[in-house]
């Protein structure tokens, strides 16, 4: 009897050990260090969520909010390296800091995937274990310019004084940010190239922020009133702030309207389009930007080629480019699907 009990105990122990060995341990997954330049950026919150979703069951994320401070982000990179991260995924606070981040990664022999804020091509090329995931900055401005052109031509009543000139205000993102600079430049160049004469009433930075967007719009309405005929925003966050200001000033009623366009196609902006308070935006595909970032970071963390098993492709600058898509009420379901 004692022998039988002993045998049963041994068998139970062996079964327990086998079961434990079969269970995937979280700490057996590669750790990927991730920084977001600031968590309360509307668009980046969706990129962050996409990265977290894509990492489920595949990687442990050391996720950090850099709070719009490059010094904070530099410290976070040091900490992630010291904690044993196998790869870094960095949404830079300041694109000019990429060289310093790469220097840290080189010392630790760590691969780094930058995303959303693009480093200089020469800096990216300086390290064979550095890549980028993002967009072609000019593309969003061009697409936004085409949207503005088409809608301006289709709505002659938007030209309130009938002078044939589109008088606009423009809410710009962070100065020096590649997307802000390109969107500001190419949206107007595209409108002008399409034969529309323009007058710039105001161009100031709202720093991607809805509160700042509202404050600037408040001031512009007070100064220019109905002389404003188009509100162009580098992102939807600022557009939402502008709409809040316009709404409080009596726009979007029965006899008063102001066309507002943005970039990103975040869910709140899509709701404004459906409500008729925003005429268009440009889908900045957060889901695929986050997914591609995780795909590359996971592959290099595991010692694989960054594109292994993916459908992504690099351009000549070692960058994966996620395309933009113009969004109006006519194709809004397409943009909504990007968040499912």
Domains of the chain: 26-135+285-323 (3.40.50.2300), 138-283 (3.40.50.2300)
Tens place of pLDDT for every residue, the chain, 340 residues? 444 434 334 444 444 434 443 344 445 899 999 999 999 998 999 999 999 999 999 999 999 999 999 999 999 999 999 999 999 999 999 999 999 999 999 999 999 999 999 999 999 999 999 999 999 989 999 999 999 999 999 999 999 999 999 999 999 999 988 899 999 999 999 999 999 999 999 999 999 999 999 999 999 999 999 999 999 999 999 999 999 999 999 999 878 999 999 999 999 999 999 999 999 999 999 999 999 999 999 999 999 999 999 999 999 999 999 999 999 999 999 999 888 7
Answer for the pair 243, 214: CB distance below 8 angstroms, yes or no.
Answer: no
Q: What's the rounded Cα separation, in Å, for the pair 108 and 130? A: 13
Residue matched to tokens 């098993």: 309
Residue 155: count of CB within 10 angstroms of its CB = 12
How are beta strands 60-65 and 31-36 bridged, if at all?
parallel
162: left (phi over 0), alpha (psi -120 to 50) or beta: left
Predicted local confidence at residue 254, as pLDDT: 79
Answer for the pair 302, 30: CB distance below 8 angstroms, yes or no.
Answer: yes
Answer for the pair 112, 77: CB distance below 8 angstroms, yes or no.
Answer: no
Q: Would you state the structure tokens that stand for residue 34, as one six-digit string?
A: 């991730």
Q: How far is CA 192 from the centre of its chain?
A: 27
Q: What's the rounded Cα separation, in Å, for the pair 100 and 80? A: 15
Q: What's the rounded Cα separation, in Å, for the pair 37 and 92? A: 6
Q: At what angle do helices 286-301 and 42-55 cross, to 10 degrees?
A: 40
Predicted local confidence at residue 42, as pLDDT: 86
Query: Which residue in 275, 271, 214 sits closest to 245, CA to CA?
Result: 214
Give how far Cα 34 sits from Cα of 1, 41, 65, 94, 268, Å: 58, 16, 9, 15, 26
Q: Which spans in the chain are helix H?
A: 2-22, 42-55, 70-82, 98-108, 121-125, 137-154, 178-193, 210-224, 236-248, 267-274, 286-301, 332-337
Answer for the pair 173, 180: CB distance below 8 angstroms, yes or no.
Answer: yes
Q: Is 37 helix (H, G, I), strand (E, B) or coil?
A: coil
Environment class of residue 228 by beta-carbon count within 10 Å: exposed (0-12), middle (13-18) or buried (19+)?
buried
What number of CA atoms fall less than 13 Å from residue 17's CA on the CB side?
A: 6
């Amino acid at each position: 009897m004692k022998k039988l009990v002993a045998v049963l105990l041994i068998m139970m122990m062996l079964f327990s050990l086998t079961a434990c060995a079969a269970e995937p341990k979280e700490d057996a997954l590669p750790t990927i260090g991730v920084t977001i330049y600031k968590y309360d950026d509307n668009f980046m919150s969706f990129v962050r969520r996409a990265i977290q979703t894509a990492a489920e069951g595949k990687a442990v994320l050391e996720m950090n909010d850099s709070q719009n401070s490059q010094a904070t982000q530099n410290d976070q990179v040091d900490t992630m390296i010291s904690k044993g991260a196998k790869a870094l995924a960095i949404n830079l606070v300041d694109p000019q800091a990429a060289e310093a981040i790469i220097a840290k990664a080189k010392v630790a022999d760590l691969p780094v995937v930058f995303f959303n804020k693009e480093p200089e091509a020469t800096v990216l090329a300086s390290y064979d274990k550095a890549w980028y995931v993002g967009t072609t900055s000019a593309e969003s401005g061009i697409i936004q310019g085409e949207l503005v052109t088409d809608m301006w031509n289709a709505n002659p009543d938007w030209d309130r004084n009938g002078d044939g000139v589109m008088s606009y205000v423009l809410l710009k993102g962070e100065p020096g940010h590649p997307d802000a600079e390109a969107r500001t430049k190419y949206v107007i160049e595209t409108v002008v190239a399409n034969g529309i004469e323009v007058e710039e009433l105001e161009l100031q930075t709202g720093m991607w922020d809805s509160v700042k967007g509202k404050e600037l719009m408040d001031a512009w309405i007070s100064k220019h009133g109905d002389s404003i005929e188009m509100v162009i925003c580098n992102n939807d966050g600022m557009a939402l702030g502008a709409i809040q200001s316009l709404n409080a000033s009596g726009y979007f009623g029965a006899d008063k309207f102001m066309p507002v366009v943005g970039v990103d196609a975040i869910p709140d902006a899509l709701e404004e389009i459906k409500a008729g308070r925003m005429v268009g935006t440009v889908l900045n595909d957060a889901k695929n930007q986050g997914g591609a970032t995780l795909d590359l970071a996971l592959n290099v963390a595991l010692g694989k080629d960054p594109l292994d098993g993916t459908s992504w492709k690099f351009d000549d600058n070692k960058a994966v480019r996620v395309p933009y898509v113009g969004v109006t009420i006519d194709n809004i379901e397409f943009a909504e699907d990007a968040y499912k």
